Amino acid sequence: MSHSEIPGAEPMIHLAVHSLPQPAQALKQRTRMGRFKMLAVWAVCAAPVLASYFTYYVIRPQGRTNYGELITPPQALPSASALPLTDLQGRLVLPAALKGQWLLLTLADAACNAACEQHLYLQRQLRETLGKDKDKVDRVWLVTDQQAVRPELLPALQGAWVLRASPADVARWLQPQAGQALNAHLYLVDPRGDWMMRFPVQGDPSRIKKDLARLIKANESWDEPGR
């Protein structure tokens, strides 16, 4: 007679015990999941700007060419230790503070010769011609010595980043065309902080503006006006 047939006997419950996951295996699974989530977040953040490059440089109407020289691969903004920056009052400015906007960047010593003045004027005019999109672009002048900036230049620099940087440090990030000086160009940095375009020496303002407008348009879903 089985146990279940004995009068008054309580029913027996049979339990099947399966092996539990080992701690090392569980840790490995959590690590893989964490990496997947991190990559997913990175992809979400990077996708719009990568899509803008793809749209502008790959999926474009036949015959359209960019005026500025595309830098491939883009060069990431250096760390504070690799590119120390200070404002005109000598206060430290972290390079990461420049991120979040398109940057039109020039560099010259504080004396600012005629070519430097032309770049500063061109920066200002290009930004203004962008109309409603101008707040997505910041002007940056990297002053490459410790001399005082001429006072008559300061009113036109309102709203611009005027920062001191060593030309040797800058040269490890930005590069001129062969045979040109580092300060001969306007450079374009994207909102992620990547140097991605270099404009020709004595460039055509109308063609530079077209490049800026197209890039901002292609990237408008990601970039936000103002800081």
User: Mean pLDDT in the chain?
Assistant: 84
> Using one digit for the tens of pLDDT, what is the confidence trace for 93-121?
999 999 999 999 999 999 999 999 999 99
Token pair, residue 73, equals 């691969």
**What is this structure's pTM?**
0.72
Instruction: State what percent of residues in the chain have pLDDT above 70.
Output: 69
Q: Is 37 helix (H, G, I), strand (E, B) or coil?
A: helix
Q: Report which of 66, 44, 47, 49 is spatially closest to residue 57, judged by C-alpha positions.
A: 66
Residues 114-135 pLDDT 10s: 999 999 999 999 999 999 999 9
Arithmetic mean of pLDDT, 162-189: 97
DSSP state of 88: T
Which whole number is the average pLDDT over 35-63?
57
State the Cα–Cα distance between residues 183 and 106, nearest whole angstrom: 7
8 A C-beta contact, residue 139 and residue 124: yes
Q: What integer is the mean pLDDT of 152-156?
A: 94
Question: What are residue 162's phi and psi, to 5 degrees?
Answer: -120, 105
pLDDT in tens, 50-79: 555 555 554 444 455 789 999 999 999 999
Mean pLDDT of 77-87: 97
What domains are defined for the chain?
A: 66-218 (3.40.30.10)
| Rounded distance between C-alpha atoms, residue 50 and residue 44, angstroms | 10
